[in-house]
Amino acid sequence: MHRAHTAFSLALSPMAHKNFATWLFKSGTSQKVAKATAAAAVRTYNSAAAEPFANGSTATYVEEMYNAWLRDPASVHTSWDAYFRSNTYTSPPNLAPVQANTLPLTAFSLGGGAVAGAAPDSKTIDDHLAVQAIIRSYQIRGHNIAHLDPLEINSPELPGNSSTKSIYANFSFGEQDMERQFKLPSTTFIGGDEASLPLKEILNRLENVYCNKIGVEFMFINSLEQCNWIRKHFETPGVLNFSPEEKRLILARLTRATGFEAFLAKKYSSEKRFGLEGCEIMIPALKEIIDVSTELGVESVIMGMPHRGRLNTLANVCRKPLNQIFTQFAGLEAADDGSGDVKYHLGTYIERLNRVTNKNIRLAVVANPSHLEAVDPVVQGKTRAEQFYRGDQEGKKVMSILIHGDAAFCGQGVVYETMHLSDLPDYTTHGTIHVVANNQIGFTTDPRFSRSSPYCTDVARVVNAPIFHVNADDPEAVMHVCKVAAEWRATFHKDCVIDLVGYRRNGHNEIDEPMFTQPLMYQKIRKHKNCLDLYADKLIAEGTVTGEEVKSVAAKYENICEEAFALAKTETHVKYKDWLDSPWSGFFEGKDPLKVAPTGVKEETLIHIGNRFSMPPPNAAEFVIHKGLMRVLAARKNMVDEKIADWALGEAMAFGSLLKEGIHVRLSGQDVERGTFSHRHHVLHHQLVDKATYNSLQHMYPDQAPYSVSNSSLSEYAVLGFEHGYSMTNPNALVLWEAQFGDFSNTAQSIIDQFISSGQSKWVRQSGLVMLLPHGMEGMGPEHSSCRVERFLQMSSDDPDYFPPESDEFAVRQLHDINWIVANCTTPANYYHILRRQIALPFRKPLILCTPKSLLRHPEAKSPFSEMSEGSEFQRIIPDNGPAGQNPANVKKVVFCSGRVYYDLTKMRTEKQLESDVAILRVEQVSPFPFDLVKEQANLYKNAELVWAQEEHKNQGSWTYVQPRFLTALNHSRDVSYTGRAASASTATGSKAQHIRELNALLNDAISV
Ligand SMILES: Cc1ncc(C[n+]2csc(CCOP(=O)(O)OP(=O)(O)O)c2C)c(N)n1
Ligand SMILES: [Mg+2]
């Protein structure tokens, strides 16, 4: 109770006043409020941020202030006085509904000597207001002074004096007031069934709830309902009472968690395992979350977590067989293909019976790279996909849990980016429970030097997620918080955070010396008993268990470990497949691994899709479409009638035909619904009605698969990660992510490097994700030109010096063996085929596709339906079909190129009338490199000089990738020279004139004989 003053004075600090005063007094505020209200009438969001400002606890507070002011203007701060005097405030009749344990202020007559029924005197009112303010202060600030740190080294630097004296001085309460009864306001549940309590009891209860081992941060939430829900779950008397059975279960789980690390430490003392010592309670915590969630209907939990405690989680949460885990320490060869990963990155997938709830549960821990937090959006995407395929629209059956380190949670921006997906209609997973294993250190850096926010969890405040800080040495407090978190998610389907404040008993890893850098902290840690011992002592002292029982539980688990250890010794190989996080049951079985289904479709299908795609909604008369779009639709219809397709139509043909075949298509990225270049227009907007839209691709066939196209948040890292996760879940879906411009994909580099490029090799996990990357040197400056295709190509895993054996299966075998496909298509038909091929393949590979900008409207970049209908297929190289191709022996020069520069080259060739002398060949699939076709084409043009022409700079584009492969394809018998821009540090010039000069030079150079 002694710290009530601190909490109270903080709540009423000048800053707190300022916050209220700003919105109340700013000139023009009322206009702004009016405007905001008008906007809200048009746009409604799902987000909590859309709730009116004067809502929830704030509104109640304002009303309380108003009532106090009515009785005595001097009792409120001068800013409130000024505001209420201005006559702008009217008490809202419905903002603070009277609840069971509330009474209007006029009813205060307790203990202050006022006669029942008579108006209370001003002291009574003041005192009640003071008590209300104290309650509120505890709710707002209690967490700042709670005992969260087991080591007690992290003292919040709070202003003010926390002595008992100053509490009484400030509130005019003396020792004699402690027994006075006070009515409890509707904003507290500490009374239980009682409507009033003595002051002493009020302070005691508040202190216990808010300043003990749990610190609840929630009063920033803009929802009165949610705030009340939290208050109720923490304040109701008795919530922290556990039955002896529950306590024994916690002890048993904690014993396993602790025993696991101890066993590994004993058997593999020099191996890195990133143990959980100091935060072992995380294991019982996760189990509690899963138990409660399962009880509430969840059937599948997808988890993402970093290195710390991962093996323990696999062993004791997922119940991955211990021998498989121990085998990872044995340094065995792998029995299957791939390069594998270190043991503390591997994923797993397990289906088992939850013994506590007696319900079946699926648990997946998603494999992840070292890159901290990179897995967060991947987990979200995978969760979302699983919800989607199960028809779990509210996230009642599938949920995600993300586990974080304290330093990474606040340091890595992707956490913020992922948080911002949490409430978006096409990305929400309906609430994630975040668990921070907060050991108060990141490697060798302590929080004072690694963050500027008071807590490592502050990022979660942006999405109004409640944050439950808890001392990791108090297992019962931790379990309570976990139970509340699981119930919160099941009730509100919003994110919440559990901050498990513990410590790290060892160094960053087991062979690291922490005393080099944290000597004082580690002196404390050395003397600190571990959580299991503390809890066992407590349970023994209170008579819940005996010392013998404690020992026997520990011994039993050690036996289990020993048996598994012996079994692991008999293993001769590790199997990467044992660690797969997303098995695709049935997908590979019975399939010819080298057979690609045809990608052409019946012409009537193309016509049907084309017609639908160019039609306004069926209720067109009422649905007002923008005039410009009517023209777009009419132009599409013309194309369909002429049986030709432009880029957007070709894409729609691919999507529509896949949807017809039952393949779910999901396209996501910034502004993808319309398309950055205004070419796609998949979503038509009613010009007069908000949110009234029509998406013809969702209405192609009555029994089609679902089509989803969604503008994303302005994030690449999280959204690409999300789509990658989505693509992992089901192979029978085409999942595409489009960058606004290709170069923006580099802000998602770790998803590209760590997951997309290498995921199959490391984790035997396949993904058919498509990355659409607008690319092309069109004079738009350095940042809107290049998708840095050279980087993708540099990561392609085909050997430049190896020409695979030629056979009918050459192309598909190459695709099978490589890590991903990199292509730059120049025709809508080829774009259509390569998209469809993603699904036609008997395996899945990511596709990196350079996509056009100006070609979207280029009159020549159109394809006849015949190039998309039955019998047609994707062309890895498009040969020269003009005079040069028809008479190759006379051709003097063959220009190989890739992408849009082809159209510039042909134009120049026409201008120079060199159609018979210069052949232009398009390498559409750059990687895996079409060795066979290059050889075949070069052989046609026996007498020609061979050049590679590209518009990208020499150190960029495809040149460095294709050059050695050309030589391999040609068996080093002929040379291929480079034509194009010089090497450059930047991707493109910012000067239009220079751009044109460079382009002309390269075209002139290429088209010359
Ligand atoms: C993106 C990224 N940057 C740096 C690292 C190197 N690194 C590995 S663990 C670690 C400290 C992480 O601290 P914290 O998140 O608190 O987790 P803890 O190890 O304390 O459990 C760092 C910096 C990394 N793995 N990932
Ligand atoms: Mg840490």
pLDDT over threshold 50, residue 13? no
Residues 51 and 45: their CA atoms lie apart, in Å, by: 9
Burial 580-612 (b: 16+ CB within 10 A, else e): bbbebeeeeeeeeebebeebbbeeebbbbbbeb
Q: Is 846 in the pocket of ligand 1 (CB under 6 A)?
A: no
φ, ψ (nearest 5 deg) of residue 350: -145, 140
CA of 326 to the centre of ligand 1 (A): 24
Closest residue (by CA) to atom 22 of ligand 1? 443
Q: Is 370 in the pocket of ligand 1 (CB under 6 A)?
A: yes
Strands (E), 852-902: 863-864, 877-878, 893-897
Phi-psi region of 675 (alpha: psi -120 to 50; beta: other; left: phi over 0): left
Residues 930 and 619: their CA atoms lie apart, in Å, by: 49
CA of 443 to the centre of ligand 2 (A): 7
Over residues 616-627, mean pLDDT: 92
pLDDT at 785: 95
pLDDT at 343: 73
Q: Which atom of ligand 1 is nearest to the CA of 439?
A: 20
CA of 274 to the centre of ligand 1 (A): 11
Q: Is 272 in the pocket of ligand 1 (CB under 6 A)?
A: no
pLDDT over threshold 90, residue 93? no
Q: Which atom of ligand 1 is nearest to the CA of 404?
A: 15
CATH of 603-867, one of 3.20.20.450, 3.40.50.2300, 3.40.190.10, 3.40.50.12470: 3.40.50.12470
Closest residue (by CA) to atom 1 of ligand 1? 371
pLDDT in tens, 19-42: 222 222 223 333 333 333 333 334
Residues 111 and 383: their CA atoms lie apart, in Å, by: 56
- In the structure encoding, which two tokens stand for residue 484, read together? 């509340």
pLDDT over threshold 70, residue 51? no
Closest residue (by CA) to atom 2 of ligand 1? 371
Over residues 552-580, mean pLDDT: 90
pLDDT over threshold 80, residue 68? no
CA of 474 to the centre of ligand 2 (A): 19
Residues 795 and 800: their CA atoms lie apart, in Å, by: 12
Q: Is 224 in the pocket of ligand 1 (CB under 6 A)?
A: no
pLDDT over threshold 90, residue 342? no
CA of 249 to the centre of ligand 2 (A): 27
Choice from 443, 506, 510, 518 to test ligand 1 binding pocket (greatest atom count within 8 A of CB): 443
CA of 504 to the centre of ligand 1 (A): 13
Q: Is 374 in the pocket of ligand 1 (CB under 6 A)?
A: no
Q: Is 324 in the pocket of ligand 1 (CB under 6 A)?
A: no
Confirm whether 244-579 and 603-867 share one CATH topology. yes
Q: Which atom of ligand 1 is nearest to the CA of 456?
A: 16
Q: Is 372 in the pocket of ligand 1 (CB under 6 A)?
A: yes
pLDDT over threshold 70, residue 642? yes
So what's the architecture of 878-1007 in CATH?
3-Layer(aba) Sandwich (3.40)
C-alpha closest to that of 469 among 190, 150, 213: 213
pLDDT in tens, 112-157: 444 445 677 888 888 888 899 899 989 999 998 899 999 998 755 4
pLDDT in tens, 472-521: 999 999 999 999 999 999 999 999 999 999 999 999 998 899 999 999 99
Q: Is 955 in the pocket of ligand 1 (CB under 6 A)?
A: no
Q: Is 366 in the pocket of ligand 1 (CB under 6 A)?
A: no
CA of 150 to the centre of ligand 2 (A): 14
Residues 122 and 766: their CA atoms lie apart, in Å, by: 72
Of 139-148, 222-231, 436-445, the poorest mean pLDDT is in 139-148
C-alpha closest to that of 504 among 833, 247, 288, 282: 282
Q: Which atom of ligand 1 is nearest to the CA of 508?
A: 19
Domain boundaries, the chain: 122-235, 244-579, 603-867, 878-1007
Q: Which atom of ligand 1 is nearest to the CA of 411?
A: 15
φ, ψ (nearest 5 deg) of residue 423: -120, 15
Q: Is 410 in the pocket of ligand 1 (CB under 6 A)?
A: no
Q: Is 308 in the pocket of ligand 1 (CB under 6 A)?
A: yes
CA of 308 to the centre of ligand 2 (A): 9
pLDDT cut 90: percent of the chain above it: 77
CA of 404 to the centre of ligand 2 (A): 9
- In the structure encoding, which two tokens stand for residue 142, read together? 């209690």
Q: How many of the other CB atoms lie within 10 Å of CB of 888?
A: 18
Q: Is 505 in the pocket of ligand 1 (CB under 6 A)?
A: no
807 vs 107: which has the higher pLDDT: 807
Residues 248 and 552: their CA atoms lie apart, in Å, by: 13
CA of 156 to the centre of ligand 2 (A): 18
Residues 926 and 944: their CA atoms lie apart, in Å, by: 22
Choice from 345, 370, 372 to test ligand 1 binding pocket (greatest atom count within 8 A of CB): 372
- Which residue do the tokens 């297992």 mark? 475
Q: Is 319 in the pocket of ligand 1 (CB under 6 A)?
A: no
Task: Assign a CATH topology to domain 244-579.
Answer: Rossmann fold (3.40.50)
Q: Which atom of ligand 1 is nearest to the CA of 437?
A: 21
Question: Looking at the CA of 444, which ligand is closest?
Answer: 1
Question: Looking at the CA of 277, which ligand is closest?
Answer: 1
CA of 419 to the centre of ligand 1 (A): 19
710 vs 618: which has the higher pLDDT: 710
Name the strands in the sheet holding 877-878, side by side, starting at the edge strand that comes first in the sequence. Answer: 877-878, 918-923, 893-897, 945-953, 976-981
pLDDT at 85: 60
Q: Is 279 in the pocket of ligand 1 (CB under 6 A)?
A: no
Q: Is 408 in the pocket of ligand 1 (CB under 6 A)?
A: yes
Over residues 410-414, mean pLDDT: 98
- Which residue do the tokens 């890893």 mark? 509
The maximal CA–CA distance of the chain, rounded, in angstroms, is: 115
Q: Is 405 in the pocket of ligand 1 (CB under 6 A)?
A: yes
pLDDT at 620: 85
pLDDT over threshold 50, residue 690? yes
CA of 587 to the centre of ligand 2 (A): 40
Closest residue (by CA) to atom 10 of ligand 1? 443
pLDDT in tens, 234-245: 999 999 999 999
Q: Is 949 in the pocket of ligand 1 (CB under 6 A)?
A: no
Q: Is 443 in the pocket of ligand 1 (CB under 6 A)?
A: yes
Look up the pTM and report it.
0.89
The mean pLDDT value of the chain amounts to 88
CB-based contact 813:807 (threshold 8 Å): yes
**575 pLDDT band (50/70/90 cuts)?**
confident
pLDDT in tens, 821-861: 999 999 999 999 999 999 999 999 999 999 999 999 999 99
CA of 407 to the centre of ligand 2 (A): 5
C-alpha closest to that of 501 among 141, 146, 10, 140: 146
pLDDT at 113: 40
Q: Is 179 exposed, middle or buried (0-12, 13-18, 19+ CB in 10 A)?
A: exposed
Residues 604 and 869: their CA atoms lie apart, in Å, by: 9
16 vs 512: which has the higher pLDDT: 512
Residues 431 and 789: their CA atoms lie apart, in Å, by: 37
Contacts 24+ apart (CB under 8 A), 110-113: 110/180, 110/181, 110/182, 110/183, 110/196, 111/180, 111/181, 111/182, 112/180
pLDDT over threshold 70, residue 99? no
Q: Which atom of ligand 1 is nearest to the CA of 412?
A: 1
CA of 402 to the centre of ligand 2 (A): 15
Q: Is 439 in the pocket of ligand 1 (CB under 6 A)?
A: yes
Over residues 893-902, mean pLDDT: 98
CB-based contact 317:286 (threshold 8 Å): yes
Q: Is 371 in the pocket of ligand 1 (CB under 6 A)?
A: yes
Q: Which atom of ligand 1 is nearest to the CA of 372?
A: 26
pLDDT at 78: 65
